[in-house]
Amino acid sequence: MRQAEKEKLVKALHEKFSKAKTVILTDFRGLNTPALNNLRNQLRESSLEYQVVKNTLLLRASEGTDMMLLKKHFSGPSAVAISYDDLVAPAKIVTKFSEENTALEIKAGIVDGKAIDLEGINRLAKLPSRDTLIAQLLSVLNGPLRSLVEVLKGVPRDFLSVLQAIKGKKQPE
């Protein structure tokens, strides 16, 4: 790779690291090309990126970003899974893929500016998806309103029952 290409790649990676919400650093040693392409496709389907990067370029690109927290993990073959929106999606996909393909090793990650280790990534992967969490929140917020409607609906019903009872007492049999 020529010097100009390397500088362009470093600049592009630096911008990606600056914008990223989640970055998962992996070691892909032992993965064959079809398996690596499969991982890339799975990540791409969720609007995520996966890029193989030389450690020297990774070190330069991470300067001034949260990725510097992972500097000690920049050894061996390295690739990064990057997410700009969803904090959980890359952890879910990479963790599931590494369970199916033991050659993929998850080194560490950055989530919302904080470094996490393999255990943290595994815990993150077990969280429900963003859509599921939003649905659960809406359900919790909807509960009190539903209860209020039921209570308010009961008042006229009970009032009608009282009127029917009074009517029944006043009418001769």
Per-residue pLDDT tens over the stretch 156-166: 888 888 888 88
Shared domain check, 79 and 144 = no
By the 8 A CB rule, do 17 and 67 touch?
Answer: yes
Q: How many domains does the chain have?
A: 2
Shared domain check, 94 and 147 = no
Shared domain check, 112 and 137 = no
Instruction: Tell me the percentage of the chain whose pLDDT exceeds 90.
Output: 55
Which residues lie closer than 8 Å to 127 by C-beta, 6 or more apart?
A: 88, 133
Which residues lie closer than 8 Å to 85 by C-beta, 6 or more apart?
A: 21, 47
Q: DSSP label at 16? A: H
In this predicted structure, the answer to whether residue 19 has a pLDDT above a threshold of 70 is yes
Q: What is the CATH number of the domain that holds 66?
A: 3.30.70.1730
Taking the mean position of all CA atoms in its chain, how far away is CA 54?
A: 26
Shared domain check, 142 and 71 = no
pTM, to two decimals: 0.74
Give the domain range for residue 141. Answer: 128-173
Instruction: Tell me the percentage of the chain whose pLDDT exceeds 70.
Output: 99
Tens of pLDDT, residue by residue over 33-69, are 999 999 999 999 989 999 999 999 999 999 999 899 9
pLDDT value, residue 128:
85
